[in-house]
Amino acid sequence: MQDKIETYGRGSVVQQGHKNGRVYLMKLVQEDFPGIIEHINNLTREHAYTKIFCKVPCWATPAFLSKGFIVEAHIPRFYNNREDVFFLSKFLDSDRIMSIEHKKLEELSQQLLTVGKIKNPAKLKSGFSLLKLKADRADEIAGLYKQVFDSYPFPIFDSEYILFGMKNNVQFFGIERQGQLTALASAETDRKGANAEMTDFATLPDFRGNSLSVILLSAMEQEMKQQGIFTLYTIARLNSTAMNRTFLRLHYRYAGTLIKNTNIAGNIESMNVFYKHIQDAGC
């Protein structure tokens, strides 16, 4: 059963449920502060969740820290290329924070030291084409995600959810071959804040090894730049070496690791946060 996404107060957005075993404050509206802190704490106690995860603007961060939250990641100039965002968490079960993937973190350190940056972007092989996907492909999008993931933190296996996202600033991009979708990704845009999450990357097993994720990400970056977006970010699986490498090769910066944060591919896994400013020269 998927976790629920609800609106609180004047427009803050909260996801909660036992699938991820957490409360996730996805969006904080200033009018709901500081009451939102007590609300999410109460939800966590009521349902015996083991983690609270929050995406919080700089101005609210000290209040969360005073209530026992810790910083897991930080992106500078996140909102409108000016205000920082902090990814804050509170753990209610020591097992959740102690069961981190130590070997993968050590591997990530080596990636950060040695990863090569792409100078000549990968190109699509003959027979493949890249396109921005519209509502008439919603069933195909959901179907591809079902083939790739055993579980996912949001209901992307449901075509109605895909359609809802398209109507609410989520843009889907795909690569197809002979009319068949082979790879997908999406850009979840916050136009008011001039940022976008680059997310939901998936490639069918038979088509991996063709740099399709790199090609999708490059194309999405260009589209976001044209739309006036300043900051791109992603929350990528710590356990996916290939996905981490994709972002690092395209000059994304490491912002932190979210410990045992997300139910994906059948397990609750730690996630890495990467970001990139695309409107500033040299970033």
Who wins on pLDDT, 280 or 82?
Answer: 82
The domain of 266 spans: 102-277
> Does one domain contain both 108 and 233?
yes
pLDDT category of residue 283 using cuts at 50, 70 and 90: very low
Which residues neighbour 17 within 8 Å (Cβ) at sequence distance 6 or greater? 1, 2, 3, 4
Q: Which amino acid is at 269?
A: E
- pTM: predicted TM-score of the whole model, two decimal places: 0.94
Whether the predicted pLDDT of 86 surpasses 90: yes
> Does one domain contain both 205 and 125?
yes
Cβ proximity of 26 and 32 under 8 Å = no
**Would 112 be classed as within a structural domain?**
yes
CA-to-CA distance for 283 and 281, rounded, in angstroms?
6
Long-range contacts of 267-271 (CB under 8 A, 24+ apart): 267/151, 268/20, 268/21, 268/96, 269/101, 269/237, 269/238, 269/239, 270/100, 270/101, 270/104, 270/105, 270/237, 270/238, 270/239, 271/235, 271/236, 271/237, 271/238
Reported in sequence order, the residue ranges of the chain that DSSP labels E, i.e. its strands, are 4-8, 12-17, 22-27, 51-57, 70-79, 83-91, 128-132, 170-177, 180-190, 195-203, 231-237, 253-264, 267-277
> Does one domain contain both 146 and 223?
yes
> Does one domain contain both 207 and 240?
yes
Question: How many domains does the structure of the chain reveal?
Answer: 2
The predicted pLDDT at position 122 comes to 80
pLDDT category of residue 280 using cuts at 50, 70 and 90: low
Whether the predicted pLDDT of 281 surpasses 60: no
> Does one domain contain both 93 and 192?
no
Task: Output the DSSP codes for 236-282.
Answer: EETT-HHHHHHHHHTT-EEEEEEEEEEEETTEEEEEEEEEEESSSTT
**Would 283 be classed as within a structural domain?**
no
> Does one domain contain both 92 and 211?
no
> Does one domain contain both 187 and 263?
yes
- pLDDT tens-digit map of 122-162: 889 999 999 999 999 999 999 999 999 988 989 999 999 99
What DSSP character marks residue 57? E
pLDDT category of residue 238 using cuts at 50, 70 and 90: very high
> Does one domain contain both 204 and 243?
yes
The predicted pLDDT at position 165 comes to 96
Structure tokens at 216: 């999708």
Domain boundary among 97, 127, 147: 97
The predicted pLDDT at position 282 comes to 42
- The CATH number that applies at residue 261 is 3.40.630.30
Whether the predicted pLDDT of 71 surpasses 80: yes
Best CA proximity match to 173, nearest among 207, 214, 205, 208: 214
Mean pLDDT for the chain overall:
94
> Does one domain contain both 79 and 129?
no
The predicted pLDDT at position 265 comes to 84
- pLDDT tens-digit map of 25-44: 999 999 999 999 999 999 99
Q: Could you tell me what percent of the chain has a pLDDT over 90? A: 91
Q: Could you tell me what percent of the chain has a pLDDT over 70? A: 98
> Does one domain contain both 174 and 194?
yes
